Amino acid sequence: GESVGLHLPTLSVQEGDNSIINCAYSNSASDYFIWYKQESGKGPQFIIDIRSNMDKRQGQRVTVLLNKTVKHLSLQIAATQPGDSAVYFCAENRAGNMLTFGGGTRLMVKP
Amino acid sequence: NAGVMQNPRHLVRRRGQEARLRCSPMKGHSHVYWYRQLPEEGLKFMVYLQKENIIDESGMPKERFSAEFPKEGPSILRIQQVVRGDSAAYFCASSPRGGDSPLHFGNGTRLTVT
């Protein structure tokens, strides 16, 4: 069936380096994607979103890239900090905010 | 400026008991969503409600699970005759409108069935 998935379950980076988290989706009709950050014991926190009419969107220290040709999303975090340590999920909004989440990537930031 | 409030944060039930999970959406939000998360997995959509209406319950098990969002008061997710497989974190999210507006999630209720 349709699904959203991630390539890397765990990513370890040095503090100050840039992080890249990847996500593949399979529903070519999807037109809205969201990245969430989830810290231990908390709910998902919205980071950034992108619509299919764009291929790049930037926020504060984060950038999302969308490649519709290969159905691939990535989240780039600049100058990664210890506070960025969390699990990151991409999600596909199939309709009306009924999101399909990927399995998550754990980001560990080494001091 | 409270966010989405869920209670209780932790709930322990014995097999066969009922679990009631409550969610108060953000102020001004009339769209509520429930998601379930198993350990080390992503969230799975369960049900989408507006005030007094179930819009989509395609992710909810057909038996033992029900949800409501009354005109007054919080949204309730009810699980009857709980089984061990119901142990999970249940998250509620809200948005001011349906469609492509970012969801705001609560911190969840962690249900443990013993």
Instruction: Concatenate the DSSP letters of all residues of chain B into one string.
Output: ----EEE-SEEEE-TT--EEEEEEPPTT--EEEEEEE-TTS-EEEEEEEETTEEEE-TTS-SSSEEEE--SSS-EEEEE-S--GGG-EEEEEEEESSSSSS--EE---EEEEE-
Structural domains in chain A (count) = 1
Average pLDDT over residues A46-53: 94
List the structure tokens of B76.
């309730």
Q: Is residue A46 assigned to a domain?
A: yes
Q: Which residue of B has its CA nearest to A5?
A: B42
Looking up residue A98, the CATH number of its domain turns out to be 2.60.40.10
| A104: contact with B, CB 8 A cutoff | yes
Q: Is residue A102 assigned to a domain?
A: yes
Q: Write down the mean pLDDT value for chain A.
A: 89
Q: Is residue A37 assigned to a domain?
A: yes
Q: Is residue A3 assigned to a domain?
A: no
Residue B88 exposure: Cα atoms within 13 Å on the Cβ side? 19
Number of A to B CB contacts under 8 A, please give it.
Answer: 63
Task: Give me the helices (H) in B44-101, please.
Answer: none
What DSSP element (H or E) covers A105? strand A105-110
Q: Which residues span the domain enclosing A16?
A: 10-110
List the structure tokens of B77.
């997710």
Average pLDDT over residues B67-90: 96
**B12-22, pLDDT tens digit by residue?**
999 999 999 99
> How large a percentage of chain B has pLDDT more than 70?
96
